[in-house]
């Protein structure tokens, strides 16, 4: 009986533990890599593949995607995850929220999230999990249950929703986000989300390092004003117009606000998603004595936005209490292009 189902010989293995690839063979048994070392005996394997000196990479964890935003979730779960597998992404963490787009419904996550899991179930070609956006006070109160009952440990704030919609102007925040009457998705809400996340970290100390909050950092009022300037000038179109309507100081100011709120609420880490300018990075620096720069995760995030970085978090099975990673079976992961250098006279230039 063979020791291994498969041995891949003569590959150059790339890992984050070393600066250069190392020559090795890879042994697989029962669908898992069990050995990575030079000189494995091919006779111990049922099947042998000659790697021919090619590079061998571990599967990538893409920690920020958007399944179900432009197409039905059950369709996207198959097509988006297939593209993941084709590109070497073996684990995907995809964003989900209540409101317009996605499932186009509001309400509590106790009713909403089981439907999400059912729509995505048995359709993905890669391992996957969800990170959720607390859009209302009720959602904040549900954070402990989402962690304890469903294994959701990643949450997100989209700082400009309502004031400036992802797909254009938004004049009716409550209608767009389908939030309860009288509630606002604003800086105060972001603060209370952070307090809810930190409370959950304290409630689940063994999971504290895995419970995270990500933020898309831009200021709605600045984006709206610059969009108006671009439209009135009529000089730019396409990506140049898009870039000009989203100046880097909008990111920088939002990052500064997010960092200060995290400091105020005692949340030790926040994940600042897909930063696109030097000013955004500078926005997390301390501006006053005693205010620490907030720590980013070791590799930031990967996802459907620019400048992704590998995220090494371990994701738990969702749809059941925390246990093993969610297992899938896997299109196209949309990449928003890097911002082009500003043209014209409408404001500051975007740093590369």
The pLDDT tens digits for 29-43 are 998 999 999 999 999
Q: What is the pLDDT of residue 1?
A: 74
Q: What is the pLDDT of residue 333?
A: 28
Q: What is the pLDDT of residue 343?
A: 31
Selected residue with higher pLDDT from 269 and 349 = 269
Q: Are 218 and 255 in contact (CB under 8 A)?
A: no
The pLDDT tens digits for 116-132 are 999 999 999 999 999 99
Q: Is the pTM of this model over 0.85?
A: no
Q: Are 304 and 94 in contact (CB under 8 A)?
A: no
Of 171, 84, 72, 79, the closest CA to residue 118 belongs to 72
Q: How much is the mean pLDDT over the chain?
A: 82
Degrees to nearest 5, angle at CA 216 with 213 and 217? 115
Selected residue with higher pLDDT from 162 and 327 = 162
Q: What is the pLDDT of residue 197?
A: 98
| DSSP-derived 3-state class of residue 174 | helix
The pLDDT tens digits for 259-300 are 999 999 999 999 998 888 988 988 765 544 444 445 544 433
Q: Are 148 and 204 in contact (CB under 8 A)?
A: yes
| DSSP-derived 3-state class of residue 16 | coil
Q: What's the burial of 142, exposed, middle or buried (CB within 10 Å: 0-12/13-18/19+)?
A: buried
Task: Using pLDDT thresholds of 50, 70 and 90, give the confidence band for residue 173.
Answer: confident
Q: What is the pLDDT of residue 331?
A: 30
The answer to whether residue 240 scores a pLDDT higher than 90 is yes
Q: What is the pLDDT of residue 17?
A: 87
Percent of the chain with pLDDT over 90: 66
Q: What is the pLDDT of residue 31?
A: 87
For 231, what's the count of Cα atoms within 13 Å in the CB-facing half-sphere? 8
For 8, what's the count of Cα atoms within 13 Å in the CB-facing half-sphere? 20
């Amino acid at each position: 009986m063979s020791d291994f189902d498969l041995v891949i010989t003569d590959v150059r293995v790339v890992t984050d533990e070393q600066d250069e690839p190392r020559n090795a063979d890879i042994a697989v048994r029962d669908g898992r890599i069990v050995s990575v070392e030079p000189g494995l005996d091919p006779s111990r394997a049922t099947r042998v593949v000659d790697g021919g000196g090619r590079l061998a990479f571990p599967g990538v964890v893409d920690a920020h995607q958007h399944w179900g935003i432009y197409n039905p979730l059950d369709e996207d779960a198959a097509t988006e995850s297939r593209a993941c597998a084709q590109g070497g992404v073996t684990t995907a963490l995809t964003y989900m929220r209540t409101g317009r787009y996605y499932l186009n419904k509001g309400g509590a996550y106790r009713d909403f999230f089981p439907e999400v899991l059912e729509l995505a179930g048995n359709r993905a070609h890669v391992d996957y999990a969800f990170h959720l956006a607390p859009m209302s006070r009720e959602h904040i109160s549900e954070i402990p249950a989402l962690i304890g009952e469903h294994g959701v440990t990643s949450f997100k704030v989209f700082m400009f929703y309502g004031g400036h919609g992802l797909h254009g102007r938004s004049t009716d925040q409550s209608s767009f986000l389908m939030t309860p009457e009288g509630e606002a998705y604003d800086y105060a809400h972001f603060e209370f989300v952070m307090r809810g996340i930190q409370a959950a970290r304290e409630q689940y100390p063994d999971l504290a390092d895995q419970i995270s909050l990500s933020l898309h950092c831009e200021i709605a009022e600045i984006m709206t004003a610059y969009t108006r300037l671009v439209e009135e000038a009529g000089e730019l179109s396409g990506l140049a117009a898009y870039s000009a309507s989203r100046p880097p100081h909008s990111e920088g100011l939002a990052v500064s606000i997010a960092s200060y709120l995290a400091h105020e609420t005692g949340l030790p880490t926040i994940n600042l998603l897909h930063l696109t300018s030097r000013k955004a990075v500078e926005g997390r620096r301390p501006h006053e004595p005693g205010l620490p720069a907030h720590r980013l995760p070791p590799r930031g995030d990967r996802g459907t936005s620019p400048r992704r970085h590998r995220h090494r978090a371990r994701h738990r099975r969702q749809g059941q209490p925390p246990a093993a990673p969610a297992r899938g079976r896997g299109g196209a992961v949309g990449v928003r292009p890097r911002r082009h250098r500003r043209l014209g006279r409408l404001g500051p230039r975007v740093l590369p």
